[in-house]
């Protein structure tokens, strides 16, 4: 008795740790970890800007309520979607919760079989949890952040459980199963009904940053600390059904000072983005390695305002083709991206080339970046060179302005090259640097206060153009074309890739926007951190279970082959 009391008083902390490991709740996960033979080791601190634009705070732990990359990067570590998109922009079978996806009833039904994974509290992940997510989406209505993507929820009539691990998505009409799987189910994580209970929008909305709703997870990591606006600390989920994490602790920092390189040098961060302008200079720093993450699956483009009557020439496809043909993308790639990017004149990204049509693969496109072709298109459209070298038609000059985000220097440089290119074929371009909010507000206002603007778009799954280049689509300045509408519709309704290719080839001819090259993400990484090259997918989402550290007494999991 005395001994027990003495031990309790002398070693209270140690006793707490003992009971933490050997409590009923925790013994199962730790036993699983030991049985798996994995030994997570070391801590890595990384900013949440990696693989995306400037860093921004995490403001929601609910995977249904925010489509910002900063939030999704974190929530996908906690709640695994049915489909995880891999480096080739197709389903990554190992990291997806779905074991198989099968179209049935003439593409009116999609059957998804779940892997036998468990929630972090040991309860199995079941088809009923997927049904629970569907019920939340219906209750959220337009608050669901991914509404319309991959036909969810508008093209889905019902979601029901067939058995414990099988769930059926029933469509209102035949639908392209690949499109639903990649574009819709990649944003569809089953949620733990047993832990969340019957929560409606008025419960879910104010509890977006409530860590108690992120305690039971099925992703590779468990959230242990969340300091809003500062950082989140995570540890590996020992019951995760996929490949186990190598790190013992991952800290995701949401705020970056003005000098991330200084933070890297003083050891506070383990990796950071490097401005493209410093791509060569960073190799002179010792103790770090430079890694180029691939460019995101998407595009940077000039969007024209079809609602602005002051610039009616944008309605003429010949003028739009001339704008693309006049663009010297090779110079842009060489000067702005140090040769580390790719020329692209398609609304379908060329890296990875997964969804390129045969015509695009063979380089047989109606636009080729040829200034002679550009001049011919403009002459054919009735635009003739005026006294000052700028083309005119019925007394109106071929001139317009383009807004660009002032905080992305590469875009400004691209436009300066474009300005010179356009001038050489007789088009006058003026550049207006603005804020991000001005860009987004202009895109959604339907007003005539702008001529054109530069924006970027990341594509989740198949680059089908629905919601973008069909009539009423967002982010395309009011572009509308009946044939494009029918081709976009076909690409999301018909199975296979022929519908997508037909849309893609027509879009190359129509040039509803002018695509500009975009770069990857140059990183500077502490030598102690490995596995970096594999941990970001084309959508900017992370697989930090790939990361490992080589100090703190940790063993390399790769035999020294990975960066």
Partner 1 sequence: MRAACGRMAARGAEAAASIILLVTLTFVLAHASPGGPAYAIMGLKVRPDTVAAVDHQIGADTALWLQYLTWWKHLLQGSLGTSYLLNQPVTGLLLGYAGRSLLLQVSGLGLGVILTLAGGIAHGKFYDTRFGRLLGAIEIMFYAMPGFVIGTFLALLCAGLLPSSGIADLHHAAPSLADRLRHLLLPALSLGLMTYSGLARYLAEGIAAELRLPYTRTALAKGLGPWAILSRHVLPNALRPLITLLGLSLPALAAGSVAIESVFAYPGLGWLLWRSALSHDYPLLIGGVLLTGLATILGNLAADMVNTILDPRRLYA
Residue 520 tokens, joined = 């990857």
Please select the residue that binds partner 1; options are 4, 9, 258, 561, rule is CB under 8 A: 258
Three-state DSSP string of 324-368: HHCCCHHHHHHHHCCCCECCCCCCCCCCCHHHCCHHHHCCCCCCC
Q: Which helix (H) or strand (E) holds 225?
A: strand 221-227
Residue 486 tokens, joined = 């029918």
Please select the residue that binds partner 1; options are 90, 108, 111, 148, rule is CB under 8 A: 148
Cβ-Cβ contacts under 8 Å for 535 (sequence gap 6 or more): 542, 543, 544, 546, 547
354 binds partner 1 (CB under 8 A): no
145 binds partner 1 (CB under 8 A): yes
Verify cis geometry, omega within 30 degrees of 0, for the bond prior to 240.
Answer: no
Task: Find the part of the chain contacting partner 1 (CB under 8 A) among 103-111, 136-144, 328-336, 369-377.
Answer: 136-144
Tell me whether residue 116 or residue 446 sits nearer to partner 1 (CB atom).
Answer: 446
306 binds partner 1 (CB under 8 A): no
Task: Find the part of the chain contacting partner 1 (CB under 8 A) among 31-39, 226-234, 354-362, 411-419.
Answer: 226-234
**CA–CA gap between residue 146 and residue 142 (Å, rounded):** 9
Shortest approach of partner 1 to residue 204 CB, angstroms? 10
Tell me whether residue 61 or residue 348 sits nearer to partner 1 (CB atom).
Answer: 61
Residue 13 tokens, joined = 């902390």
Task: Find the part of the chain contacting partner 1 (CB under 8 A) among 221-229, 273-281, 341-349, 478-486.
Answer: 221-229
In this structure, the number of other CB atoms found within 10 A of the CB of residue 200 comes to 11
Per-residue binding letters, 42-61, with partner 1 (x by CB under 8 A): -x-x-----------x-xx-
Please select the residue that binds partner 1; options are 30, 32, 68, 562, rule is CB under 8 A: 68
Tell me whether residue 29 or residue 47 sits nearer to partner 1 (CB atom).
Answer: 47
550 binds partner 1 (CB under 8 A): no
Tell me whether residue 257 or residue 496 sits nearer to partner 1 (CB atom).
Answer: 257
Per-residue binding letters, 426-445, with partner 1 (x by CB under 8 A): ---------xxxx-xxx-x-
Task: Find the part of the chain contacting partner 1 (CB under 8 A) among 165-173, 228-236, 318-326, 350-358.
Answer: 228-236
416 binds partner 1 (CB under 8 A): no
**CA–CA gap between residue 63 and residue 82 (Å, rounded):** 12
Site of tokens 């003992």? 18
143 binds partner 1 (CB under 8 A): yes
385 binds partner 1 (CB under 8 A): no
Tell me whether residue 177 or residue 189 sits nearer to partner 1 (CB atom).
Answer: 189
Please select the residue that binds partner 1; options are 199, 261, 365, 533, rule is CB under 8 A: 261
**CA–CA gap between residue 535 and residue 546 (Å, rounded):** 6
Shortest approach of partner 1 to residue 421 CB, angstroms? 28
266 binds partner 1 (CB under 8 A): yes
Residue 196 near residue 184, CB atoms below 8 Å:
no
Tell me the β-bridge partners of 214.
none
207 binds partner 1 (CB under 8 A): yes
Long-range residue pairs from 98-106, CB within 8 A, at least 24 positions apart, any chain: 98/181, 98/185, 99/165, 101/177, 101/181, 101/185, 103/177, 103/495, 104/168, 106/174
Cβ-Cβ contacts under 8 Å for 470 (sequence gap 6 or more): 484, 485, 488, 489
Residue 50 has what DSSP assignment?
A: T
Residue 218 near residue 117, CB atoms below 8 Å:
yes
257 binds partner 1 (CB under 8 A): yes
| Whole-angstrom Cα Rg for the chain | 26
Please select the residue that binds partner 1; options are 263, 274, 276, 332, rule is CB under 8 A: 263
- Contacts with partner 1 by CB under 8 A lie at 43, 45, 57, 59-60, 65-69, 71, 141-145, 147-148, 201, 205-209, 227-231, 233, 249, 251, 253, 255-263, 265-269, 435-438, 440-442, 444, 457-458, 467, 474-475
């Amino acid at each position: 008795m005395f001994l027990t009391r003495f031990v309790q008083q002398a070693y209270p902390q140690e006793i707490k740790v003992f009971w933490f490991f050997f409590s009923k709740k925790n013994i199962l996960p730790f036993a699983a970890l030991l049985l798996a033979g994995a030994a997570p080791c070391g801590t890595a601190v990384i900013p949440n800007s990696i693989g995306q634009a400037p860093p921004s705070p995490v403001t929601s732990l609910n995977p249904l309520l925010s489509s910002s990359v900063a939030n999704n990067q974190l929530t996908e570590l906690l709640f695994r979607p049915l489909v995880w998109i891999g480096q080739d922009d197709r389903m990554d079978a190992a990291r997806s919760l779905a074991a198989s996806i099968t179209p049935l009833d003439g593409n009116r039904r999609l059957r998804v079989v779940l892997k036998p994974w468990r929630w972090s509290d040991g309860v199995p992940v079941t088809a009923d949890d997927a049904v629970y997510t569907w019920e939340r989406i219906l209750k959220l209505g337009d608050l669901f952040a991914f509404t319309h993507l991959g036909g969810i929820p508008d093209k889905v009539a019902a979601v029901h459980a067939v058995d414990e691990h099988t769930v059926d998505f029933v469509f209102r009409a035949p639908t392209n199963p690949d499109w639903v799987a990649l574009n819709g189910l990649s944003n569809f994580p089953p949620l733990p009904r047993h832990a969340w209970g019957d929560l409606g929008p008025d419960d879910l909305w104010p509890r977006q940053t409530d860590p108690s709703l992120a305690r039971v997870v099925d992703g590779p990591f468990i959230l242990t600390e969340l300091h809003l606006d500062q950082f989140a600390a995570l540890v590996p989920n020992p019951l995760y059904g996929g490949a186990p994490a190598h790190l013992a602790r991952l800290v995701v920092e949401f705020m970056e000072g003005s000098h991330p390189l200084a933070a890297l040098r003083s050891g506070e961060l383990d990796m950071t983005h490097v401005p493209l302008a410093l791509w060569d200079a960073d190799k002179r720093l010792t103790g770090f390695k430079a890694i180029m993450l691939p460019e995101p699956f998407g595009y940077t483009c000039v969007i024209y305002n079809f609602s602005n009557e002051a610039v009616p020439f944008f309605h003429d496809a010949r003028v739009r083709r001339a704008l693309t043909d006049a663009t010297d993308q090779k110079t842009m790639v060489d000067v702005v991206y140090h040769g580390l990017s790719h020329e692209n004149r398609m609304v379908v990204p060329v890296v990875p080339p997964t969804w390129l049509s045969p015509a695009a693969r063979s380089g047989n496109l109606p636009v080729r970046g040829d200034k002679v072709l550009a001049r011919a298109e403009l002459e054919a459209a009735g635009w003739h060179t005026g006294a000052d070298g700028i083309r005119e038609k019925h007394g109106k000059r071929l001139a317009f302005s383009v807004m660009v985000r002032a905080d992305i220097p590469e875009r400004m440089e691209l436009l300066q090259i474009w300005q010179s290119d356009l001038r050489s074929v007789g088009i006058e371009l003026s550049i207006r640097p603005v804020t991000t909010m001005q860009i987004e507000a202009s895109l959604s206002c339907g007003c005539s206060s702008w001529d054109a603007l530069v924006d970027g778009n990341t594509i989740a799954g198949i680059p089908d153009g629905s919601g973008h280049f069909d009539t009423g689509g967002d982010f395309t300045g009011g572009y509308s074309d009946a044939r494009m509408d029918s081709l976009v519709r076909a690409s999301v309704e018909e199975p296979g890739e022929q519908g997508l290719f037909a849309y893609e080839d027509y879009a190359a001819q129509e040039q509803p926007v002018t695509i500009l090259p975009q770069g990857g993400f140059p990183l500077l990484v502490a030598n102690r951190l490995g596995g970096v090259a594999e941990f970001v997918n084309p959508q900017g989402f992370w697989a930090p279970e790939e990361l490992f550290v080589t100090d703190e007494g940790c063993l390399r999991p790769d035999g020294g082959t990975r960066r």
